[in-house]
Amino acid sequence: MDSIVVRGNGPLSGQIPIAGAKNACLALMPATLLSDEPLTLTNAPRLSDIRTMTELLASLGAEVTALQEGKVLATSCHGEINPVADYEIVRKMRASNLVLGPLLARLGHAVVSLPGGCAIGARPMDIHVDALAALGAEIELKDGYLHAEAKGGLKGATHEMRFASVGATENFLMAASLAKGTSVLKNAAREPEIVDLAKCLRAMGAQIEGDGTSEIVIEGKDRLHGATHPVVADRIELGTYMLAPAICGGEVECLGGRIDLLESFCEKLDAAGISVEQTHTGLKVARKNGRIRAVDVTTEPFPGFPTDLQAQMMALLCTAEGTSVLEEKIFENRFMHAPELVRMGANIDVHGGHATVHGVEKLKGAPVMATDLRASVSLILAGLAAEGETVVSRVYHLDRGYERVEEKLAGVGAHIERVKAS
């Protein structure tokens, strides 16, 4: 297994290009199941999670071709569709559950394995099931698979989710786009990836209003057509790279970055003493002299502070002046990076959904192990702030969500390299 070796760093400078959003792309790709015409996604990221979705769609009968070094995904679903999403693929990635809504809408039935994904909590499927049941689907769990059927097709309905789940909102949007009549989703998630999916569905002929707010109205259509859609910038990759100069000092511009994708995160950086400026080409992040200030952070659905940046923010706050409290409100088991950061000299107490970080002057390099995607990148960031060498192992987690991480960081002066497994 590959590992990443990081050495404590001085100031960084230069530019880092931000890729298309993994989480947007994982919702956009299944939309190909809604039409028999081609869907082309530009600015797609080259990641192992995208390859897993390609494998899943191919197993369902779609054709997915990666063009121009994988940045353009041409998908097409004109032949016979297999309604069964097999456990062997679905278990690799929770986002596989995003084929449930489209399969049900296009075929009237679907059999989808319960998903796996990051080990960051129970992550059940009840909100998805309730949302699709509201559209007339009958869904039962048998042998680890969700068996869904909509006799006579899906019918538009008004439904309020008990929690603003990102994936359930995406499944509902795709399913309702081909349902008969009008659907209204209340307490919908408002993440930029949902707005991006709605944009793409509109380009395919869907009628959707209110995306980006907590009430989305969808007028169902008989069929959707092909489209070409550019994937929105990855706000989590953006936030991660913004933290590199925040940790090491210096000034870095994240190309393609937009402040509206990360407002609450930028507010916390400002409070910690990091300046963020929107330029014509991206976001410029600079850390002046002096120590980072402690800040308290609570993760929330968008537009709140993203849970997917909590681990990376913790890496920054390990060396802040003062005590920071991080509260995790989205996932119940998402502090697995904390004990690894402690091995590097951080002072962190975890109690249930709270982590109290008492800032120390310096971290020290150590061998550490990544336990999930965002945890693994937080250890790399911490390594940049540490004295000596940090070896991060199990980096296959990292490759699920970060394209060329070592090249991008080395490009702004970070001391980082990948050591290939022999």
Size of the site for ligand UD1 (CB under 6 A): 22
Binders of ligand UD1 among 106-125, rule CB under 6 A? 121-125
List the interface residues with ligand UD1, window 305-324 (CB under 6 A): 307-308
126 contributes a contact to ligand UD1 by CB under 6 A = yes
The first and second tokens of residue 128, run together, are: 């998805």
Question: Which one, of 48, 51, 60, 50, lies nearest residue 25 by Cα?
Answer: 50
User: Using the rule CB under 6 A, is 44 a contact of ligand UD1?
Assistant: no
Select the residue interacting with ligand UD1 from 94, 199, 235, 400 (CB under 6 A): 94
Of 27 and 178, the one with the shorter C-beta distance to ligand UD1 is 27
- Is 164 or 385 the residue whose CB approaches ligand UD1 more closely? 164
Closest CA to 385 of 417, 359, 418: 359
Among 12, 31, 127, 139, binds ligand UD1 (CB under 6 A): 127
Pick the closer one to ligand UD1 by CB: 127 or 313: 127
Q: Report the alpha-carbon distance of residue 387 to residue 49 in Å, rounded.
A: 33
The answer to whether 128 contacts ligand UD1 (rule: CB under 6 A) is yes
Closest CB to ligand UD1 among 243 and 366? 243
Q: Which of 25, 77, 118, 254 is catalytic?
A: 118
d(Cα 97, Cα 90) in Å, to the nearest integer? 7
Q: With binding defined as CB under 6 A, does residue 95 bind ligand UD1?
A: yes
Q: Closest distance between ligand UD1 and the C-beta of residue 30, in Å?
A: 11
Using rule CB under 6 A, residue 220 touches ligand UD1: no
> How many Å apart are CA 103 and CA 125, to the nearest integer?
16
Give least dist CB 192 to ligand UD1, A: 11
**What is the phi/psi pair of residue 95, to 5°?**
-65, -10
Out of 166, 178, 346, 377, name the contact with ligand UD1 by CB under 6 A: 166
- Residue 311 CA to residue 381 CA, distance in Å, equals 10
194 binds ligand UD1 (CB under 6 A): no
Residue 23 interacting with ligand UD1 (CB under 6 A) = yes
Query: Is residue 178 near ligand UD1 by the rule CB under 6 A?
Result: no
Shortest Cβ 309–ligand UD1 spacing (Å): 10
Active site residue 248: no
Just list the catalytic residues: 118
Residues that bind ligand UD1 (CB under 6 A): 23, 26, 94-95, 121-128, 163, 165-168, 193, 307-308, 330-331
